[in-house]
Amino acid sequence: MTRRTFIAAAALAAFTLSSLAPAARAEASTVRISHGYGILYLPLMVIREQKLVEKHAQKMGLGTVATAWLTLDGGNVINDAMLAGNLDIAGTGAPGFLTLWSKAQGIPRSEVTALGALSTSALWLNTNNPAIKSLKDFTPRDKIAVPGIKTSLSAVVLQMAAAKTLGPENYAKLDPMTVSLSHPDAVGALLSGKTEVTAHFTSPPFSYQEVADPKIKRVLSSTDLLGNITLDVVFAPKHFTQSNPKLVQAFMAAQEEANAYIAANRKGAAEIFLRVSKVKMSVAEVERMLDDPDTRFTTTPNGLMEYVAFMGKARTIKTVPAVWSDLFIPAFKSRQGS
């Protein structure tokens, strides 16, 4: 999407929303929230299952607030839904959020802001091709499944891994080999061995499901190359946060409660994940993933400026924040994030 096309679409969406809105109104009585499929979205699944937004909205005097939940995966899909006015709050990969944040700067009613970090874990690049032992072994005959080409979390982290392994000038060398598939579909394709997909760059539980098959092996782990940087964030349109300050506070309180619940009740959190995600695993298997020290849930971000530096040099974002807190609502300015 060119910037001119983006501005035109944003203006149309803003006109549509403004034409439908009453002259004055209270805070929203319904909030539309999306999350993806995997463990990285567990706090949102806990919020959904335990109705924590509704609980904290009631505490803050907002009365009865309803939530409408969507399951969306891939930065482009989520950004399009947000721009079209179909979402109020979304969990997404950090690169997808940064892409929209950069494009939307200075465009009224299209600017977005983060409400908190969501999660981090290890992304594993798994393959069913025995000839592949490192990134250097991929050939044009191989296809790597990611949720969205170039802008999804997996796609950008793969570029960052390629830059570290193959040299900065070769960061996009694997891009022509990527194909867009949701994580559940990619698991099926990789395990079947009957499609063009020979690798999948993914997060738990899908990474664990794949390596349980003896034909699948791990090529790399993102934490080995990049450390435990924040992978996913929660964000919203800036105008939504300004029009609904108490509702945003209620959501943030809900996320903190969800994170505390996950830390204190691994079994309960695992059960919630299985109920919401519909993934076919045992509770014990999910608990083991949650016990992995690489899997963490916190609202304070770590390493977001690493994405900014990389995406700025790659020119996939043009407008960059001066400091990490520029990406977040004002309440984060006092935090020790990065």
Q: Is residue 3 pLDDT above 70, yes or no? A: no
Split at pLDDT 50, 70, 90, the class of 292 is very high
Does residue 79 contact residue 73 with C-beta atoms inside 8 Å?
Answer: no
pLDDT the model gives residue 19: 39
In terms of Cα–Cα distance, which of 255, 306, 251 is closest to 95?
306
Reported as a single tens digit per residue, the pLDDT across 126-151 is 999 999 999 999 999 999 999 888 87
Label the pairing between strands 30-35 and 66-71.
parallel
Domain ranges of the chain: 3-17+26-120+229-332, 124-226
pLDDT the model gives residue 172: 96
In terms of Cα–Cα distance, which of 182, 176, 179, 170 is closest to 144?
179
Q: Could you tell me what percent of the chain has a pLDDT over 70?
A: 93
pLDDT the model gives residue 307: 97
Task: For residues 268 and 261, give the distance between their C-alpha atoms in angstroms, rounded to a whole number.
Answer: 8
Q: What would the CATH number be for the domain defined by 124-226?
A: 3.40.190.10
DSSP bridge partners of 271: none
pLDDT the model gives residue 150: 86
Q: Could you tell me what percent of the chain has a pLDDT over 90?
A: 86
Task: For residues 142 and 159, give the distance between their C-alpha atoms in angstroms, rounded to a whole number.
Answer: 16
Q: Which two tokens stand for residue 68?
A: 């409408």
Task: For residues 56 and 150, give the distance between their C-alpha atoms in angstroms, rounded to a whole number.
Answer: 37
Identity of the amino acid at 71: T
Q: If DSSP codes are grouped into helix, strand and coil, which group holds residue 233?
A: strand
**Over residues 238-257, mean pLDDT:** 97
The rounded mean pLDDT for the chain is 91
CA–CA distances in Å: residue 255 to residues 74, 199, 268, 297 = 22, 33, 16, 10
Split at pLDDT 50, 70, 90, the class of 201 is very high
| 106 conformational bin, left if phi > 0, alpha if psi -120 to 50, beta if neither | left
Reported as a single tens digit per residue, the pLDDT across 325-335 is 999 999 999 99
pLDDT the model gives residue 39: 96
Q: What would the CATH number be for the domain defined by 3-17+26-120+229-332?
A: 3.40.190.10
